[in-house]
Chain A
């Protein structure tokens, strides 16, 4: 692949009810453009789940981004990385020279608590809020592998600890296993501190051809898919096979294996999500995801840090923004700019996003992005 991330930027993440979607986008995009110093933008893809009609143009024209093709994309929690995937394809195909990918979500002006499930979906109408869907996976893992509530809580403890050094994150204070397990029940066995918090935020990345003089972080691989039919014949919990299939394709495309990865940002919308995903990505055997966390392998300082930014659990999860916030973190990691969160000698990183809400299939969308420090 001959595409690169020329620059990244993000807003602060967290409850920002006094700011508008435009404020967040302006902050993220201005930082990305200053970081890239790449000149003219030829097209924009903007990911936002709950942004209304015109959210992309409405938040971008104040920056002078007008006249060029601008597209609003939605793929649930994978909207931001979908925007990146489209931007990458636009550059790779020669259709555009330089493309801006943006993700934004303003949640505090739309929701007071959990996102209400979709009334037009059979399971949504039945009351399956997203935490309940993930709770079903947690119950299965308790049954199949003996995963304990303490092990689930350790994912939140780890990611909250990582975010102490992330000035942009929503939560920057540590929590203990006991605090996690004693927090308000949401959907058994998951508690409040095992669920990513409502947050507002935006993130952006400029995609173009790599510039040797600038040592741009390279895109080593990028795959996107939707979920296959999911039901009694499916071999795994919801959200596993969509990631595992995408990972096989990505590793083949990039000519890498999971153990070549130095650092990952994965979709820990709920604690069980990180455990299932690390297995699906091949970081360990099936059923081994809880042990990875327990043994410190995925902590900063461990063999293969996962979510050094604090992940969704600590950074917050503004849906459309999240994927590009993860990309920004990995770009900073691969450039050696992650400060106290720095993973030593990080050369190859992976972003994983997966979003749901449509019943009957194994996830709405999954996007995997492999990023690489250029060899100099």
Chain B
């Protein structure tokens, strides 16, 4: 079992002695506005599966909705896929971004059945090719966890 707290990046904290919140920007409406849930563009899950828009005709799929397939122009339909795949690349972020204190790990995961998804990892770079499973956390971020499986490939 994974400890959520280890993966969860810290949110805003009070920095003593000034007891002020740490920010990396001057106050600006566009970055301060808390967008309502309908505007949250991050990937969604249903019953542990990744929700995608998938083309009925070609192999295109995406975590973003689209009115038609941007690749071939045909109809798309909502679909759910098994969220397993392999790491295409990874990094560890050491700078603050809105709502997140560093360090936090990120990886591009090529899901076997679908798109390339950006996911959070523990703050170490996962090796390229690592087999992972994606899940959604309570804070709405997608996290990638290493799959421990004797039959899995570990490198490209």
Binding site for B on A (CB under 8 A): 109-114, 116-117, 119-129, 131-132, 135-140, 143, 184-189, 229-233, 237, 359-360
Chain B interfacial residues counted at CB < 8 A: 49
Instruction: Please report the C-alpha to C-alpha distance between residue A331 and residue B1 in the assembled complex, in whole angstroms.
Output: 61
Instruction: Give the Cβ gap from A69 to chain B, nearest Cβ, in Å.
Output: 28
Nearest-Cβ distance from residue A194 to partner chain B, whole angstroms: 12
Q: Among B30, B42, B92, point to the contact of A188 (Cβ < 8 A).
A: B92
**Chain B residues in 8 Å Cβ range of A186:** 93-95
B interface residue numbers (CB < 8 A to A)? 9, 23-26, 28, 30-31, 33, 35, 39-43, 59-60, 62-64, 70-71, 88-98, 100, 104, 106, 108, 110-111, 115-116, 118-120, 125, 128, 141-142, 156
Q: Rank and list the top 3 A-B pairs by shortest CB-CB distance, nearest first.
A: A135-B91, A136-B89, A122-B41
Q: How many residue pairs, one in A and one in B, have C-beta atoms under 8 Å apart?
A: 123
Known pairs A122-B118, A127-B104, A131-B95 / 15 extra A-B pairs, C-beta < 8 Å:
A113-B96, A117-B97, A120-B35, A127-B100, A131-B93, A132-B91, A136-B88, A136-B89, A136-B90, A136-B91, A187-B93, A187-B94, A188-B125, A229-B70, A232-B111
Main secondary structure of the interface of A (DSSP, over half): loop
* Inter-chain contact B94/A185, CB cutoff 8 Å: yes
Q: Provide 13 A-B residue pairs closer than 8 Å at the C-beta atoms, listed in order of the A residue.
A: A112-B23, A128-B106, A136-B88, A136-B106, A138-B91, A186-B93, A187-B95, A188-B92, A229-B60, A232-B111, A232-B115, A233-B59, A359-B118
Q: Are A127 and B35 in contact (CB under 8 A)?
A: no
- Indicate if the CB atoms of A187 and B64 lie closer than 8 Å: no
A137 touches B141 (CB 8 A): no
Say yes or no: B95 contacts A114, CB within 8 Å: yes
Q: Given A116-B97, A136-B108, are A123 and B118 also a contact pair (CB < 8 Å)?
A: yes
